[in-house]
Amino acid sequence: MNTDYDVLIIGGGPGGTPAAMALAMAGKQVLLVESGAGLGGTCLFEGCIPSKIFRESARRLRELREAADFGLCLPTLDTRINWSAIQERKRNILQRRSQAALARVEKIPGLTFVQGRAQFISAHEAEISITDAEVQRVQFKQAIIATGSIPFRPPIRGIDHPRVLDSEAILNIDHIPDKLVIIGAGPIGVELGQVFHTFGSRVSILEAAPNILGPVDQELAAQLRQRMQDDGIEIHTDCRVNAIIHSGQRVYVEYLNADQEKQHCFTDTVLVVAGRRPNVQSLGLENTAVEHDAHGVKVNATLETGEAGIYAVGDVIGQPMFAHWATTQGLALARHLLGQPAPFPDPLSNSAVIFSEPELAMAGLTEAAAREAGIEVEIARYDFQHDARSQISGRDAGMLKIVFEKNSHKVLGVHALTEGADALMGEAALLVKAGLPLEAIAGAIHPHPTLSESFVQAARSALAALSMGKPKP
């Protein structure tokens, strides 16, 4: 292995790997170091991909159960869940994706990939621990920290009990819990709660905040919460967990409810998904001028840290924590380091999907965030109950909301609750990024019958109401 590089990149996830590839293809000598199972990072091995693999199995199971609603008289089927087969399918997909990423990296001259741990010795020198016995010291001109995040474990008494799992451990569980208590109603808690409920677990979710899903559009979050409760998932908000206590072959979670009354919830498995924190462990940052706190590594507008020449991207610098956000930052930083025009991404134009049932997706500002920023906004709505494509699919619950500036009609945010909302977010992201007005949406011809028609219907309805001086629908 060479010992002198232009750029050292620590972390082979969705932030570090694209940056490494872009820089190496432009002629830089790049060393990419990943300490995990392989290229792909948390998203591939412990996050979005494995959880969506579980979700896909749950979706197929729901479709089998709903077959009669579509006039399908299926023969008696053995719909028991083969959990080991689901886990094996997950492992095969993760391995295939990681090996494909490695193959792409290995084809790029100037890009060296090492599976090991990197630790800064100084601002331009690091030790790479490949094995316990093999340590290589390297020099570099610049560095990018892309080490992602790790599950946050709140200071709850009993949280270290073996039956208490985090978002990474639950993905490798060897059975489907009979009863599952989830601490945290963020995206991970909601997604996995619905998945395991579909698989047969009795699910209870405990959330400290007044609402589920935190900063997302609360009108849509409330609709999703009602759907989950109608399906049989218990959701308790405004509650504080005091302890997780061992009791024979089970555990119980002790918490205070919204009325400050002590409650107990017996279970066999507890899932703690109270957020994630930036992963800065064992990086040797104390040997540099890089500053960090509980919110992550501190960077400036060009993602440079307090140490000149050392940069950071993705989860390690804090919110928003999304794989696609890390990739966008990594590629922008690569262009910046190459001296090319590099507009860095603006969080206000970010998009995301919560893979709930139905999906809740968003791009840009929520109604509440826009009003808090002092922007005078209006809302265009479309109820999927009236949508042809949604009725055909049997998934006609939910709503599309377009947040737009009152005077200019410029689109500031798009939010959707519907099965298939993920497919709407590409267009939504473009609308927000370009700041297009409602008139542009209303004039675009969308195919029928598709979910994308909802954009046109919402825009036309809002414009008609505005022209007549009536309240929006």
**Which residues belong to the active site?**
448
Q: Would you list the DSSP string of 88-140?
A: HHHHHHHHHHHHHHHHHHHTSTTEEEEESEEEEEETTEEEEESSSS-EEEEEE
Sign of CA dihedral 39, 43, 49, 54: positive
The answer to whether 118 touches 283, Cβ cutoff 8 Å, is yes
- Alpha carbon distances (Å) from 268 to 164, 196, 210, 359, 439: 9, 14, 26, 28, 54
**Residue 55 is inside which H or E element, if any?**
helix 48-65
Tokens read off for 72: 């399908």
Q: Which residue in this structure is represented by tokens 């675009």?
A: 444
Q: Which residues of 303-340 are buried (b: 16+ CB within 10 A; e: fewer)?
A: bbbebeebbbbbbbbbbebbbbbbbbbbbbbbbbbeee
Strand-pairing partners, residue 138, are 126
Cα–Cα distance measured from residue 170 to residue 46, given in angstroms and rounded to the nearest whole number: 9
Name the maximum alpha-carbon separation found in the chain: 76
Strand-pairing partners, residue 240, are 256
The answer to whether 335 touches 21, Cβ cutoff 8 Å, is no
Terminal Cα distance for the chain, rounded: 64
- Alpha carbon distances (Å) from 46 to 53, 279, 285, 382, 409: 12, 14, 25, 36, 41
Cα–Cα distance measured from residue 448 to residue 400, given in angstroms and rounded to the nearest whole number: 17
Tokens read off for 365: 């500002």
Cβ-Cβ contacts under 8 Å for 125 (sequence gap 6 or more)? 137, 138, 139, 140
The DSSP call for residue 410 is B
Q: Would you list the DSSP string of 144-192?
A: EE---EEE-----BTTTSTTEEETTGGGG-SS--SEEEEE--SHHHHHH
Count other C-beta atoms under 10 Å from residue 195's C-beta.
Answer: 26
134 dihedral zone (left: phi>0; alpha: psi -120 to 50; beta)? beta
Q: Identify which of 297, 320, 323 has the alpha carbon closest to the alpha carbon of residue 143.
A: 297
